[in-house]
Amino acid sequence: MSEVARRFFARAWLVLGYAFLYVPIVALVLYSFNDSSVPNVWHGFTLRWYGALASDDELLGGLWLSLKVAFVTACSSVVLGTLAAFALVRYRRFFGRTLFAGMVAAPLVMPEVIIGLSLLLMLVSAQRIFGVPERGMLTIWLGHLLLGLAYATVVVQARLSTLNVQLEEAAMDLGAHPWQVFHLVTLPLIAQALLSAWLLTFTLSLDDVVLSAFLSGPGATTMPLVIFSRARLGLNPTVNAVATLIVLVVSIGVLAASIIVARQERQRARDLAAAARA
């Protein structure tokens, strides 16, 4: 293959690949403005599905619960995930390390039906013995946290393993307490990873169907559960309207975050260059 043909082939493959990834999202957004209750035949522009959304108490109630669960899940996942990542990166040898590493990573691939079913049945047993916990927001959070912990650990672990340990050792030599070392040296260095772990676990929790279905109780219906029950029955334009709003919020959030990160990277590069000159 000539160089030109190869470059053309590479470009075509990438373009088609991205089209495959994005066309469904574009379709979802376009058809939210479709003036027809059958959302795959175009009948002209309307905003009425967004109006319907505003008075959709079931969906709005679900959204509020989902946001609460996602917030708590993201915060707790980052805390536990950072601890787990520290243990895995810094402590090469401790009792049960292999088991620990396996348990941290398993929820990344483990089918959610298994995690949901097993956690639910354990919680049911616990409720029979201790009387707690009641099924609801708390139990949904416990399930989401397992998933969030796994993802947060991966993100923080990746950053921690690239850190220069000598920075921490230097601080320690200069008399800093381990907590001060973490607070003053390590934390600022991994702050970016913590932020992306927080955002990732927040969106994962906001999106989860299967764990929530197993772990929710009466009156605790998250937004994905509402969407899923409607999507099962067929096409529903209000689902498209919700989807559009989510895509909008997520795109703005991710773009803003990556611009901030890129700016910080440039700033750091400039600082390093200045330090090298000085």
Of 208-267, binders to another protein (CB under 8 A) are: 209-210, 214, 224, 227-228, 231-232, 235, 239-240, 242-243, 246-247, 250-251, 254, 258, 262
**Residue number with CB closer to another protein (153 or 221):** 153
Only segment of 56-64, 67-75, 103-111, 167-175 that touches another protein (CB under 8 A): 103-111
Q: How far apart are CA 206 and CA 247, in angstroms?
A: 13
Size of the site for another protein (CB under 8 A): 87
Residues between 150 and 169 with contacts to another protein, criterion CB under 8 A: 153-154, 157-158, 161-162
CB of 68 to another protein, least distance (A): 18
CB of 262 to another protein, least distance (A): 8
Task: For the chain, give percent helix, strand, coil, nearest 5.
Answer: 80, 0, 20
Residues between 175 and 204 with contacts to another protein, criterion CB under 8 A: 178-179, 199-200, 203
List 19, 27, 47, 269, residue binding another protein (CB under 8 A): 27
Which long-range contacts link 173-181 to residues 24+ away (Cβ below 8 Å)?
A: none
List 107, 135, 140, 155, residue binding another protein (CB under 8 A): 107
Establish if 125 lies at the interface with another protein (CB under 8 A). Answer: yes
Contact 226, 59 (CB under 8 A): yes
Establish if 72 lies at the interface with another protein (CB under 8 A). Answer: no
Establish if 96 lies at the interface with another protein (CB under 8 A). Answer: yes
φ/ψ bin of 196: left (φ > 0), alpha (ψ from -120 to 50), beta (otherwise): alpha
Q: Residue 218 phi/psi, 5° resolution? A: -60, 130
Only segment of 36-44, 45-53, 163-171, 270-278 that touches another protein (CB under 8 A): 36-44
Nearest residue to 75 via CA among 195, 160, 215, 181: 195
C-alpha count within 13 angstroms, C-beta hemisphere, residue 248: 9
Tokens of 163: 């850190």
